Amino acid sequence: MVAKLTQGFWAKTARIILRNRILILLMVTAMTVFLGFQWENMRFSNSQANLLPDDHPVNLEYQSFLEQFGEEGNTIVFAIQDSALFTPENFNRWNKFSKQLMAFPEVDLVISTDNLKELVKDQEKQEFVLRPMIQSQLRTKAEVDSIKNHLFNELPFFDNLLFNAESGTIRTVANLDKDIVNTSVRKDFILKDLRNVVNSFEEETGMDVHVSGMPYIRTMNSQNIIDEIGKFILAALGVTSLIFFFFFRSFRATFISMFVVIIGVMWAFGVLGLLQYEITVLTALIPPLIIVIGIPNCIFLINKYQQEVKKHGNQALSLQRVITKIGNATLMTNVTTASGFATFIITDSKLLKEFGIVASINILGIFILSLLIIPIVYSFMSLPKTKHLKHLNKRWIDTFVNWMERIVRERRITVYVTSLVLLIASIIGIYQIKISGSIIEDMPKKTEFFKDIRFFEKEFDGIMPVEIVVDTKSPKGVLRPANLKRMDRLSTVIEEIPELSKPVSVVNLVKYSKQAFYNGIPKYYQLPTSQENTFIMDVARKSSENGDMLQSFVDSIGQSARVTTFMRDVATERMEAIEAELNENIAKIFPSERYNVYMTGGALIFLKGTKYLVKNLILSLTLAIGLIALFMAYLFRSFRMIIISLIPNLLPLVITAGVMGFVGVPIKPSTILVFSIAFGISVDDTIHFLAKYRQELTAHKWRIKTSVYAALRETGVSMFYTSIVLFFGFSVFIISNFGGTVALGALVSATLLFAMLANLILLPSLLLSLERTIANKEILKEPQIDILPKEEVNLDEDQ
């Protein structure tokens, strides 16, 4: 009953489409124009991707930190490692560079040699005051050398902050206005004004300026994403159109297909704008994905049209049959693909949820566009010429299909043994997979800004902030001697970890206060003794009240302090080991009943987010498998068929995971997507094959062997066509500068190739081997929906 209703629905749909061609084209045009106007709402992400939900404990701690101490990721650093800097002309130009930075309204604070102020003791007022290190412009080499010596040897407070004495590297630190850090203003400032100032300095002095810091890294990384969107779209269009033309040898068919997917891309951008979602490293993949997924729809529809024309030459009948016979099949396959993406919607990650929503909407959108545009456009054109139908008789396709059939007939044991060996090897490989929580691992390695990241890691021990917040649970408790000593012990622990930079906290300021108290003698850069403490700390408190010296290190009531360090880019296992070591020492130094201490910062947030993502995506993949299993159950009403259909789709996922383990591709936000994407797409081949198989069973009076071979011969060509398009379509991501996108493209391509072979070789083999098991009343039942109508003419008939 349902099957008859389905056939009636598609017959009615075909009549509506073909009788209202002009109206439908106008509606498509209106929708495209409407979505085109939504492009103005598109915006690129200006903040670091937060993979954790807003109410996650780790996120709550991070938000608490930001409320107390302000934005941590608002610092841009500039450095020069060149002995030529220490001449009067160049050193004065470096100081002028700092003044130029400070002149920008987007910059809140600049710390450099130009405005560096030393802490000195005012004997009369009995307080510490800040005195400029450089009183006037330097005129001689001796003055520059004196400043250099004073800075490198007598001001340990600024060690690793403004200089590296061992290498002679000088650094300038600029803090951006916190209100613009996560806005487009930051991007415009960095890409235009900041780059102009840096370039001007380099041209005048001939010295290279290294630039880094999280705002700068995020801006340059986002710009690379923007640049790659166009590159991916053009590459996807180019590759898929070439393959399409190779198969069909028709410029007309190729242009129509490109026209359909280009509109699909316009809709994808429009949906992003309509929903006001930011374009992130994930949503940037959707337009080329739409091209890659949309082309197989065009292949099925145009191939069917040409077959019908070749069969009887009646254009109206051919177009009607395209819709009635292929419409349901393409709907089912697009629904399963969209389901694979839609499972991301259930995750708590905003990044993944938005990706899932937009991707699933646009996959269904490209199906609707294909079904409407292709028959209508062909209805206005003359019939295809004989030369355009030659591809239906390609002998090399016959050779490929015959090879598969021979393997299924004669080599089933070999197929099973090979599958089992691959399964066992893949399981071994899976145990070697690692999780990567590195912020910079996927960034383009050949870019200048990535080289600068490595430079700052070498010179200043990292750029990724790690913050430790110490809550003394007592107002003004931070400056108590016992608490300062505990924080000093923690600082010592941090300094002993080679992957962490020298920490900065209120402890450094108190040590600097003692040094200033003793007239700047470097050996007194230490915490005050119990005898010195009362007087020095009284002076420090009085000074802080006047000059707000503590505001960067201590909260407004003096109860909580921050200890800031920076981490190098290290393996996730090492990052977790560092975290565990710090937590262990924190527990010893700060008893939990007297202190509340926690770690936060961008590096740790990203690590925790990646792990959280892994758990969520395992859930989403499980849901995708469950949904598609239910879909199969509804279609075929056979538990055994569900199991048989899932095996050739799950095995490629296991093989891909094993390959990731063996070749060292870690699990990270980009590569996690591989499994859900590949599963949602690869199951389409299974649906096509089983639908044809179910139809052949009826035609051949339930003779399973005959039906399997017939289904294999008759679906092999279409599955080969679409799999090749998908393989090369996803391969375009390999041209990316981002390691994660490269891995995503390569892994999805490989998985879909494995899935094609599994569906064309392993699936038929299983059906034949389990012939007696599945030849029962369950399989004799009529399916709930006939995916392919009973009079379906196969994609490769008449070959």
The string of pLDDT tens digits covering residues 36-60 is 999 888 777 656 666 777 778 888 8
- pLDDT more than 90, % of the chain: 19
Lowest mean pLDDT among 17-26, 474-483, 605-614: 605-614
Report the range out of 43-47, 530-534, 605-609 with the highest average pLDDT.
605-609
Q: Pseudo-torsion of CA 405, 409, 414, 417, nearest 10°?
A: 100
CA atoms within 13 A on the CB side of 736: 30
Distance CA 10, CA 8 (A): 6
Report the range out of 287-296, 358-367, 561-570 with the highest average pLDDT.
358-367
Distance CA 212, CA 79 (A): 9
Helix (H, G, I), strand (E, B) or coil at 589: helix
The reported pLDDT for the residue numbered 450 is 87
The reported pLDDT for the residue numbered 697 is 76
Q: How many CB atoms lie within 10 A of CB 132?
A: 11
Given the structure tokens 């005129």, which residue do they identify?
139
What global pTM score does this model have? 0.75
pLDDT at 257 > cutoff 80: yes
Burial of residue 515 (number of CB atoms within 10 Å: 0-12, 13-18, 19+):
buried
Better pLDDT: 421 or 122:
421
What is the SS3 assignment for 91-115? Answer: HHHHHHHHHHHHCCCCEEEEECCCC
Given the structure tokens 């430790």, which residue do they identify?
468
pLDDT at 477 > cutoff 70: yes
pLDDT in tens, 736-774: 877 777 888 888 888 888 888 898 888 888 888 876 665
Burial 677-699 (b: 16+ CB within 10 A, else e): bbbbbbbbbbbbbbbbbbbbbee
**Residue pair 717/397 in contact by the 8 Å Cβ criterion:** yes
Better pLDDT: 629 or 413:
413
pLDDT in tens, 125-159: 666 677 788 877 888 999 889 988 888 888 888 88
Report the range out of 27-41, 177-191, 558-572, 686-700 with the highest average pLDDT.
27-41
**Residue pair 163/170 in contact by the 8 Å Cβ criterion:** yes
pLDDT at 796 > cutoff 60: no
Average pLDDT over residues 498-514: 86
Cα dihedral 335, 336, 340, 345 sign: positive
Find the helix or strand (DSSP H, E) in which 582 lies. helix 572-589
**Residue pair 429/658 in contact by the 8 Å Cβ criterion:** yes
Average model confidence (pLDDT) across the chain: 81
**Residue pair 620/346 in contact by the 8 Å Cβ criterion:** yes
The reported pLDDT for the residue numbered 690 is 78
Closest by CA position to 740, among listed 613, 578, 620, 618: 613
Six token digits for residue 582: 């710090």
Could you give the C-alpha distances from 667 to 289, 345, 568, 614, in angstroms and in order?
A: 21, 20, 20, 8
Q: Pseudo-torsion of CA 107, 111, 115, 116, nearest 10°?
A: 160
DSSP 501: P
pLDDT at 782 > cutoff 60: no
Q: Residue 464: which residues within 8 A CB-CB, separation 6 or more?
A: 214, 439, 440, 566, 567, 568, 569, 601, 602, 603
DSSP 385: P
Average pLDDT over residues 471-494: 90
Average pLDDT over residues 558-578: 85
**Residue pair 77/172 in contact by the 8 Å Cβ criterion:** yes
pLDDT at 778 > cutoff 60: no
pLDDT in tens, 378-422: 888 887 766 656 655 566 667 777 888 888 888 889 999 999 999
Distance CA 767, CA 711 (A): 11
Report the range out of 251-260, 286-295, 708-717, 789-798 with the highest average pLDDT.
251-260
The reported pLDDT for the residue numbered 320 is 86
**Residue pair 568/527 in contact by the 8 Å Cβ criterion:** no
Report the range out of 464-473, 551-560, 693-702 with the highest average pLDDT.
464-473
Distance CA 666, CA 693 (A): 39
Find the helix or strand (DSSP H, E) in which 374 lies. helix 350-379
The reported pLDDT for the residue numbered 633 is 75
Burial 144-159 (b: 16+ CB within 10 A, else e): beebbeebbeebbbbb
475: amino acid identity, one letter: P
Q: 75-80 and 210-212: which strand pairing?
A: antiparallel
pLDDT at 610 > cutoff 90: no
Burial of residue 178 (number of CB atoms within 10 Å: 0-12, 13-18, 19+):
middle
**Residue pair 460/566 in contact by the 8 Å Cβ criterion:** yes
pLDDT at 428 > cutoff 90: yes
Six token digits for residue 504: 């900065």
Helices (H), 637-703: 639-663, 669-699
**Residue pair 110/174 in contact by the 8 Å Cβ criterion:** yes
Backbone angles phi, psi at 490, to 5 degrees: -65, -40
The reported pLDDT for the residue numbered 720 is 80
**Residue pair 351/45 in contact by the 8 Å Cβ criterion:** no
Q: 278-279 and 43-44: which strand pairing?
A: parallel
Distance CA 259, CA 29 (A): 12
Q: How many CB atoms lie within 10 A of CB 222?
A: 22
The reported pLDDT for the residue numbered 7 is 64
Helix (H, G, I), strand (E, B) or coil at 797: coil
Q: How many CB atoms lie within 10 A of CB 421?
A: 10
pLDDT at 775 > cutoff 60: no
Question: For residue 777, what pLDDT band results from cuts at 50, 70 and 90?
Answer: very low
pLDDT at 18 > cutoff 90: no
The reported pLDDT for the residue numbered 270 is 93
Closest by CA position to 505, among listed 150, 75, 69: 69
Backbone angles phi, psi at 720, to 5 degrees: -65, -45
**Residue pair 116/134 in contact by the 8 Å Cβ criterion:** yes
pLDDT at 62 > cutoff 70: yes
DSSP 789: -
Distance CA 516, CA 514 (A): 5
Question: For residue 791, what pLDDT band results from cuts at 50, 70 and 90?
Answer: very low
CA 193 to chain centroid, in Å, comes to: 29
Beta bridge partners of 239: none
- pLDDT more than 70, % of the chain: 88
Closest by CA position to 39, among listed 295, 229, 220, 239: 229
**CA gyration radius, the chain:** 33
Domains and CATH numbers, the chain: 2-47+220-431+606-780 (1.20.1640.10)
